[in-house]
Structure 1
Amino acid sequence: MKNYFFCSLRNSLITLVLLAVLPALGIILHSSLESRSLAIREAEAETLRTVQLLAREQQLITMRAEQLLSLLAQMPQVRTLDGPATTSLLRRLKARGSVFDNIVAADAHGRVFAAAQPYRKMPVLKGGRYFEQALTTGSFAVGQHALGQQNGAKAPLIHFAAPIPGTDGQPIGVLVVTLRPDRYERFFDVASLPKGSVLTIADTQGTRIYRYPPEEGTSPVGKPLSADLWETMQGPDTTGTATVNQDDGVRRIVGFAQLWLEQAREPYLYISVGIPERQALAKASSALRWDLTLLVTAAALAILVAWGVGGIVIGRPVERLTRVARRMAGGELSARSAPHEDFGELSILAKTLDDLAEALSNDIDAREVVETELRKSEALLRMILDALPVGVWMVDPQGETRYANGVSRRLLGSAADIGSRPCEALSAWVPGTSENLPKDEFVLAKALAGDSMPQPQVLEVEDRNSPGRLIVRCAAIPIHHEEGRLRAVIMVMEDITERTQREQARESIEHMMRHDLRSPLAGFVSLSQLLLCQSNLTAEQREWAAKLGASASAMLRAIDAYLKLSQIERGTLALELASVDMLELTRGTLKGLDHLPQFRSRHVVVTMEGEPPPEGAALPLHCEQSLCATMLSNLLKNALEASPEGGIVEVDLKDLGTTVQITVSNAGEVPQAIRQRFFEKYVTAGKKHGTGLGTYSARCIAEFHGGSIQLDSATPGRTRVTVLLPRRLPGAAAPSPEPEGRPA
């Protein structure tokens, strides 16, 4: 969605002012956080100091209570449970001044027999935790929450108890002193804590013994503490601080202390002092509000100044430039801004705008010239495409025709009309059959479906000019955008009806000639064999008869090899594999060539891995013997013909384990013009009667055996042809057929 706010320079300027304020805002917030953190630490320290002071005071009182009760327990009148004497003793102690509210003595059944302050009705102490613990353990004990009489009303008291030992050392009674927690009010008031601060004393069960200031509504005495506070005070630390929510709903920073007796398993008392978090942070919050007020005021003033100054310094010049730009957009390229100074961004912008108008004015003529040339080029391209002897048309990614030349319209008719869909409108057949080609098998459909390199197709289509069908060769070339998305498909269709007919006729003639030649040649072979059976022939006559038979046999093998080569090209030949000794086959091939004139003036050397073959050496290979013999014969003939008079042709055989390498090398170089096409059909140079079929047939035979052939002309003055054949061939695949022609 477009943001219209930033379309205005003034608004952008205001935004910059606000962005400039952000660092100051960050500093203020950071300072506020630091102040708040400091205030919290100070509040924690204050609560911890106060609670530690109260804890020390309480520990001193506990020690005094323990000492007092221990001394009283040794007095004779107490140990004899003498009520009047004990009462007199206790009252004298109380009269001298004591922090304790009362001092009581009771027998083992809890019946009070003496008290510093008289009771209206003597209570029974049995059942109190402090009483039972002192009686059973024989040690000093502190009680849990309990209420006692104070000024005629019940008030919370802290009980301290110690046993009265008998003559046998066993407790016979209990001495108890009581302490009023409200005595800590003056300590709390002296601390001058913030408003809302509270003092809380709890027993070992988490029951509130005392709270100051009192709050019976939400924090009554005798009820459990809030879960947060109790869980915090029960931790492993005897003193500490935390921030918790208390029963009255106020969040406070609390300092707490645990009070322990020696050898006790748990604290006997918990004291906490809490300061409201809000009060602790009041000063920091006030400072933050004041700083933010100043910042907002300064930002507002800066915005007002930016609004006014921006209109004068930026707004008016920009409006002037906008008017000039609109005139230019309307076609008035002569419009110019007012004379500009040599400094300032707006002056540079004005000058740039004037330069742009000047450049547009100067370039408009050049653009018209370019557009004119482009139209001429497009017209020329259309003329060239229409003059091509092949059909060319272009379809978009949806398969609709966007261009078609004249030949396309002649071959396809309405299927080549602009906007038509050739994949749907074209009817095609598999050549030589009445089988319709499926729509999705059409090469154009494959290209549209995402095939980046669809194989060309030969199809039959309806002849639009006469009854019958045309044989066409179709190819599709996908054109893609830079990101890989299909942009268009160029379709090329060539009418090869006449060429196909000529090839079929030539193939028939060649086939007939080869079969007609075989019969006379077979007769020559038989005649030679009959002559050799005669006993009245001279040695010279026998030699010529043998040569006649060998030549006829060689011609028969050549014809058979070329027939098989034709089958290889058509993919109809099945290999007749047998185990063949390549060394013996090479030697036999050489014997079949010794009648050639060039064989007499050149030498052929056969080696195995660069050395003369040892006696009995062999190199077995799984192949078709006649084809491999033809391949060797053609390579040797080429080498002998290319080698100079007296030259040496080297044939090296090498066992590479799973493959056999045959290398034929000779003096002389292959002409540079045909090196890249050396193994293609009909490629020859420098030979008077060369056909260009020898190396082509060698390549076909090597590839049909699953091998390869390679030309090496890197060494100046020499040519090396290397053939690699697998030792065992699981299956054979036909080499890629040539576009036209058959071997002669």
Structure 2
Amino acid sequence: MQDIEKTKEELTVELQAARKLISELWSIETDRQLAEEALKESEQFLRSTLDCLSANIALLDNQGNILHVNKAWNDFARQNGLYPNDVSIGTNYLDICDKASGTYAKEAVHFAKGIRSVAGGETDFFILEYPCDSPTKRRWFAGRVTPFPGESPRKVVVAHEEITERKMAEEEMRESEIRFRRITDSALDAILMIDPQGKVSFWNPAAERLLGYTKDEASGQDLHSLIAPERYFDAYTTGFEKFHHTGQGDAIGKTLELFARIKDGREIPISLSLSSLLTADGWHAVGIIRDNSELQRLEKVKDDLERISRHNLKSPLTGIINIPELLMDDDNLTVQQKNMLNLVIVSGRKMLLQINSSLDLYKIESGTYDFLPQECDLLEIIKGVCELLGRGIGFNPNKVYIHENYTPNDTTGLSIYSDSGLLEIVLLNLIKNAVEASVLDEPIEVSISYDSANCTIVISNSRPVSTEIRDKFFEKYTTAGKSGGTGLGTYSAAIMTRAIGGTIFMTTSDEIGTKVTVCIPKVPRS
């Protein structure tokens, strides 16, 4: 009886142990099921993620057998007639590459070699960019091979991504660069570029010929230390600091007449045109340099010839003017004959004035003008100019209204000491310019005023100056709206006024018209 009860106790213990084991097994099974569900979810997430990628992706074992592919891989296979037999799951991808034939067989064999190197652990990464044209268009792909994380034997991930757009852009860039090189290599002007630090980054063959430095010698050098005369350094240092931060500067977008120091140490005259270029690393400057040596030599020859010709014309022209003046004293001349002789005199005087103007302008520009002041009757000069213009360009001299503002008892206000020849040319150009700019029969006003030191002449007309030339009214060759205009009238008036110690400026608007003001010392300053 005791043995039976003892057995029951043992059975009870065993039953409890069995229940505990069953509970643990149930827990383990539950955990396993949960793990399997999580794994399935993870696999589904991975598949969905891979299917969202544009690259054609396959997982291979170490023998090259395809274990898994994404949607893009299958879609590409279908579109190119390869699915389901050629590149589907279970197919050996290495065999496909090894047996490839035709145009791209070489690339396929090379790619298979890359797969084997990653699968064998020789390398952890392989990439090959290769062409693979369809029947209708050119295509490029990048094939990448990487190891798949996990235990041995090693598996690899193969991904093919289309890179046609990038390759086309690169090809277009290469062609553009070839065209650019051909243009710059054949250019007669020196073309160069500096980086944001002022170092030479481009130097064409014309720059080598002009400046004496080869491309290798110039590249990486500070441009201004290389070719700029020392007197330009301060201006460059100031200007380059602004350019470095903004790409702007006083020289950008302009053509400058400067000097460059070439390799043998000589300085040559040049024209420099500058522009700015912004890239990822900052502002670059592009310069085009033209050698002005021959141009300056030819201009000097031209100026010399013109000056000699004008000088040689003065003597016979003086005779042409004097002879009609002598004939005018003959009482037997008819009115018509006197008018014709007077026309010859006026035309001759105008031509002589133009010759003198050209000679004086050359002297001022070349620094050889010698200011020899003499007493001048300003009112008589203005009246003479009006009469000359009236006969020369056929306008009524009476349309010029002259106002002289001075105190009648102050006789010193009636004359000044200056260069009468230059004054006549200045006033002729300014009054002629006002007449040509005004509407027919509109008056031209010339106001003369004096103070203790200066004489001020204001020439006014009702027409405003064209907006396109207002800022450069006194610059050389500036003209607008005048047929046959040379753009030298106001320029010569300005530099001649300054040559005799005076000042000149212009104001203009639609409301007041145009006023040109000339201020001349009554007595030359020391």
**TM-score category, normalised to shorter length:** 0.5 to 0.7
Distance 1:372 1:652, change over 3 A: farther
Check the 8 A contact 1:598/1:640 in 2, yes or no: no
Deviation at 1:391, TM superposition (A): 1.9
> Identity of paired residues, percent?
29
Deviation at 1:593, TM superposition (A): 2.7
The match for 2:421 is 626
Counting only pairs closer than 5 Å after superposition, residues 345-364 of structure 1 correspond to structure 2 as none
Check the 8 A contact 1:472/1:493 in 2, yes or no: no
The match for 1:577 is 373
One-letter amino acid of the counterpart of residue 259, structure 2: V
Distance 1:403 1:613, change over 3 A: farther
One-letter amino acid of the counterpart of residue 497, structure 2: A
SS at match of 1:519: helix
Check the 8 A contact 1:399/1:448 in 2, yes or no: no
The match for 1:294 is none
Deviation at 1:495, TM superposition (A): 1.6
Deviation at 1:669, TM superposition (A): 3.6
Distance 1:405 1:580, change over 3 A: same
Check the 8 A contact 1:659/1:726 in 2, yes or no: yes
The match for 1:473 is 270
One-letter amino acid of the counterpart of residue 437, structure 2: A
Q: Is residue 457 of structure 1 aligned with residue 245 of structure 2?
A: no
Check the 8 A contact 1:709/1:722 in 2, yes or no: yes
One-letter amino acid of the counterpart of residue 509, structure 2: A
Per-residue CA deviation, residues 341-386 of structure 1 (Å, 9 max, x unaligned), is: xxxxxxxxxxxxxxxxxxxxxxxx9xx89x9799789948877766
The match for 2:353 is 557
Distance 1:596 1:551, change over 3 A: closer
Check the 8 A contact 2:189/2:288 in 1, yes or no: yes
The match for 2:450 is 655
Q: What RMSD in Å do the two structures reach over aligned CA positions?
A: 4.9
The match for 1:390 is 189
Q: Is residue 545 of structure 1 aligned with residue 341 of structure 2?
A: yes
Deviation at 1:544, TM superposition (A): 4.2
Deviation at 1:692, TM superposition (A): 2.2
Deviation at 1:523, TM superposition (A): 1.5
Query: Which of 480, 494, 507 does residue 290 from structure 2 map onto?
Result: 494
Distance 1:419 1:544, change over 3 A: closer
Per-residue CA deviation, residues 643-687 of structure 1 (Å, 9 max, x unaligned), is: 223221110112355443211112334333333333233333333
Distance 1:646 1:514, change over 3 A: same
SS at match of 2:478: coil
Deviation at 1:574, TM superposition (A): 1.9
The match for 1:408 is 207
SS at match of 1:607: strand
CA distance in 1, matches of 2:412, 2:523: 19
Deviation at 1:564, TM superposition (A): 0.6
CA distance in 2, matches of 1:586, 1:630: 10
One-letter amino acid of the counterpart of residue 626, structure 1: G
SS at match of 1:683: coil
Check the 8 A contact 1:447/1:477 in 2, yes or no: no
Distance 1:441 1:715, change over 3 A: same
Give the TM-score of the pair, scaled to structure 2. 0.53
Distance 1:560 1:520, change over 3 A: same
CA distance in 1, matches of 2:345, 2:469: 36
Check the 8 A contact 1:443/1:475 in 2, yes or no: no
Check the 8 A contact 1:461/1:470 in 2, yes or no: yes
SS at match of 1:590: helix
Deviation at 1:716, TM superposition (A): 3.8
Deviation at 1:633, TM superposition (A): 0.7
Give the TM-score of the pair, scaled to structure 1. 0.39
Check the 8 A contact 1:606/1:651 in 2, yes or no: yes
CA distance in 2, matches of 1:547, 1:614: 39
Query: Which of 191, 216, 229 does residue 441 from structure 1 map onto?
Result: 229
Q: Is residue 527 of structure 1 aligned with residue 357 of structure 2?
A: no
Per-residue CA deviation, residues 309-345 of structure 1 (Å, 9 max, x unaligned), is: xxxxxxxxxxxxxxxxxxxxxxxxxxxxxxxxxxxxx
The match for 2:314 is 518
Deviation at 1:603, TM superposition (A): 0.8
Distance 1:384 1:679, change over 3 A: farther
Distance 1:488 1:683, change over 3 A: closer
CA distance in 2, matches of 1:386, 1:654: 62
Deviation at 1:460, TM superposition (A): 8.1
CA distance in 2, matches of 1:661, 1:566: 26
Per-residue CA deviation, residues 393-418 of structure 1 (Å, 9 max, x unaligned), is: 34579986333234212323435434
One-letter amino acid of the counterpart of residue 520, structure 2: L
Q: Please, which moves more after superposition, 452-461 or 708-717? A: 452-461
Check the 8 A contact 1:707/1:726 in 2, yes or no: yes
CA distance in 1, matches of 2:235, 2:286: 10
SS at match of 2:395: helix
Deviation at 1:559, TM superposition (A): 0.7
Check the 8 A contact 1:447/1:489 in 2, yes or no: no
Per-residue CA deviation, residues 438-491 of structure 1 (Å, 9 max, x unaligned), is: x8835676667768689853368589xxxxx99541659899xxxxxx998866
CA distance in 1, matches of 2:465, 2:210: 44
The match for 1:359 is none
Distance 1:682 1:510, change over 3 A: same
Check the 8 A contact 2:401/2:443 in 1, yes or no: yes
Deviation at 1:584, TM superposition (A): 3.3
CA distance in 2, matches of 1:706, 1:503: 28
Deviation at 1:700, TM superposition (A): 1.7
Check the 8 A contact 2:228/2:259 in 1, yes or no: no
